[in-house]
Amino acid sequence: MNCDRKLTFVLTFTNQLHPYQCLYLTYQSLEDWTELQDILRCNPDFQGEPRYDCIIINMDLPSGQLSIARLRGLFNCRLSSGETCDVALVCMLPLSKWKPKTKWEGCRIYDELKEPRFIMAKYLLHGAHMISAFGASESPLKFYLNDTIDSDMFLRAGN
């Protein structure tokens, strides 16, 4: 089931799930330990174009490996107990085996998986700037990780 079909299925439970398209994610910088904030969006029509930002997820992976995903939906869920929780529908981006014609030291390429999954929003750590890889096959979509966007991301990527 692709992301769009699964999202449609989820939205049929409107009295239990409330979708939203923007997330203000607060995180602690690894550079100077200050509190910072990312604004992340998952919107099929953001100023006339689709926008699905990427995120780093807190998962138990070996040191230096990042767990990255692309946001496809954000939801506030009302549980039968009356409690609420925030969940994210994401398509994971595992490391790719594809090699570009021009490769540089530390080059990391990720494939976007088609099968989405739900994760608790409390496990979202930081936004990730991913750049579309040109010259690769269209399926799955391939992305470069931009780990030089700021010093915090540089440190998170294990540089």
**For 36-74, what is each residue's pLDDT tens digit?**
999 999 998 889 999 999 999 988 766 667 889 999 999
CATH 2.40.50.140 fits domain 3-156: no
| The pLDDT of residue 78 | 85
Q: Is the pLDDT confidence value at 1 over 50?
A: no
> Could you say which DSSP state residue 121 is in?
G
Write the DSSP assignment of 32-60 as a string of letters: T--EEEEEEEEEEEETTEEEE-EEEE---
Instruction: Provide the residue ranges of all domains of the chain, joining segments of one domain with +.
Output: 3-156
80 vs 133: CA distance, rounded Å: 43
152 vs 126: CA distance, rounded Å: 10
Q: Is 156 helix (H, G, I), strand (E, B) or coil?
A: helix
Residue ranges with strand state E in 7-156: 17-20, 22-28, 35-46, 49-52, 54-57, 67-78, 84-93, 109-111, 116-120, 124-128, 130-132, 142-145
Q: Is the pLDDT confidence value at 93 over 60?
A: yes
**For 119-140, what is each residue's pLDDT tens digit?**
999 999 999 999 888 776 667 8
**Strand 49-52 vs strand 35-46: parallel, antiparallel, or unpaired?**
antiparallel
115 vs 138: CA distance, rounded Å: 16
Q: What percent of the chain has pLDDT over 70?
A: 85
The pTM (predicted TM-score) of the whole model is 0.80
Q: How many angstroms separate the Cα of 87 from the Cα of each of 38, 79, 111?
A: 17, 12, 22
Token digits of residue 19: 């979708």
